[in-house]
Structure 1
Amino acid sequence: MRAHTDQERGQHLRRLVLAAMFAALGTLLGSLSIPVGPTRVAPLQHTINAIAGIWLGPWYAAGAALVTAFLRHSLGWGSLFAFPGSPFGALVVGYAYRVLRTDAAALCEPIGTGPIGATIAAWVFQPLVGSHHTLWWFQGAFLASSIPGAILGYAVIRILRRVPAVGEWAAQP
């Protein structure tokens, strides 16, 4: 196992701090949600996932999404369904960005949240909360939240890329 250089440690610390900031921002913005059945539609959470996936990479972004889901649930602003929804959206964006190397990877967030996250939510959490909704209902609710959030995240990334000061702290993962 090789030793990490100071520069690598600095990169990890920068990503960790940004992940914490994204988790805090996602928690605050996640309070603006719309209850839909047993879930809550929170497009701004998906905006944060899209930005974090590109700027932090898949694992730090997924970690920030998990922390956000935990905080939102603890504060009563979220539901159990955020746990399987958000991290997969952030993870897919992070990996899509690694492959595509374009900010349009932010638009892949609904792939992780919808088909992957909603399926896990329907199979695991649906019986726990006694929900009678179908898999298709969950996918529709998750996509209703993640599609506008991903579009907004893409727009925010494009705007922030034009700000010179942002380029220094939002370097490519």
Structure 2
Amino acid sequence: MQQIQAKTQLRTKKMVLTAMLACLAFVLNTYVYFPSMAPFQHFVDVIAAVLLGPWYACAAAFLCGIMRMMSGRTIQAVVGAVFGPILGGLIYQKTHNIWLVLVGEVAGTGLLGAMTAYPLMKLFYGLDAQSPLYYIPLYTPAALVGGGMGVAALLIFKRSGLLNRMLAELGREAPHG
């Protein structure tokens, strides 16, 4: 019985943190805006991938994307956000290396997200671009900048001991090195 309660409490903590991170990304992207760039989505994606794992991190990105779409953004707000935390989270599960989460975020967003956005933008919004590579130069810099900020924050948390405490509280393994 206690084991079931512990699993329920852990799942509840992860769901609450997922919602909080989704809201943080939404607020940061709403008030700190660069044309065609949402670096704070990637900042949060990297942090969520490490703290929560790929699926909760994807849920946070998806929730933020839906909120951004509801406030006037295109489907890119969802598509450009969900692949990075999945790939980054999967990489972190295998390696426990914070720097490699950035690689996953950039590859997931800058390549997979960008190439997935192209046909959807063409279909739903009548995008006139002729190449499926159209969004790569737009998505990649945002993922690099925001993901880099996320790694910097995680390294500061690690140095202070906060990251290990947060990961322990969430039933996750601490980074190596």
Q: What TM-score, normalized by structure 1, do the two folds share?
A: 0.88
The one-letter amino acid paired with 1:75 is: S
Which residue is 1:83 aligned to?
A: 78
**Displacement after TM superposition at 1:117 (Å):** 0.9
Judge conservation of contact 1:106–1:153 (CA < 8 Å) in 2: no
Distance 1:11 1:114 in 2: 32
Aligned to 1:5: 4
- Structure 1, 124-133 or 19-28: larger mean CA deviation: 124-133
Letter of the 2:118 partner, please give it: A
Q: Does 2:116 align with 1:120?
A: yes
Partner of 1:34 in structure 2? 34
Following superposition, the deviation at residue 4 of structure 1 comes to 6.1
Question: Which residue among 145, 156, 160 is the counterpart of 2:157?
Answer: 160
Amino acid at match of 1:137: Y
Q: What is the DSSP-based 3-state SS (H/G/I as helix, E as strand, rest coil) of the residue aligned with 2:133?
A: helix
1:140 and 2:137 aligned: yes
After TM superposition, give the deviation of residue 170 of structure 1 in Å. 3.5
Secondary structure, counterpart of 2:127 in structure 1: coil
The answer to whether structure 1 residue 97 and structure 2 residue 96 are counterparts is no
Q: 1:59 to 1:131 in 2, by over 3 A?
A: same
Partners of 1:102 and 1:42 in 2: CA distance: 24
One-letter amino acid of the structure 2 residue matched with residue 33 of structure 1: Y
* Farther-moved stretch of structure 1 (161-170 vs 65-74): 161-170
Does 1:110 pair with 2:109? no
1:92 is aligned with what amino acid?
L
Deviation at 1:6, TM superposition (A): 1.7
Stretches of 4+ moved more than 6 A in 1?
A: none
Q: In structure 2, how many angstroms separate the alpha carbons of the residues matched to 1:141 and 1:165?
A: 34
Count of aligned residue pairs for this structure pair: 166
Query: 1:76-121: CA deviations, max 9, x gaps?
Result: 3x33112111011111111010111111132120111121111111
Q: Which amino acid aligns with 2:133?
A: W
Q: Which runs of 5+ in 1 are unaligned?
A: none
Q: 2:62 aligns with which of 53, 62, 66?
A: 66
CA contact (8 A) 2:51 2:166 kept: no
- AA at the equivalent of 2:105: E
For residues 118 and 72 of structure 1, the distance between their equivalents in structure 2, rounded to whole angstroms, comes to: 17
Task: Give per-residue Cα distances to partners, 1:139-170, cap 9 Å, x unaligned.
Answer: 11111211111111111111112334554334
* Identity across the alignment (%): 27
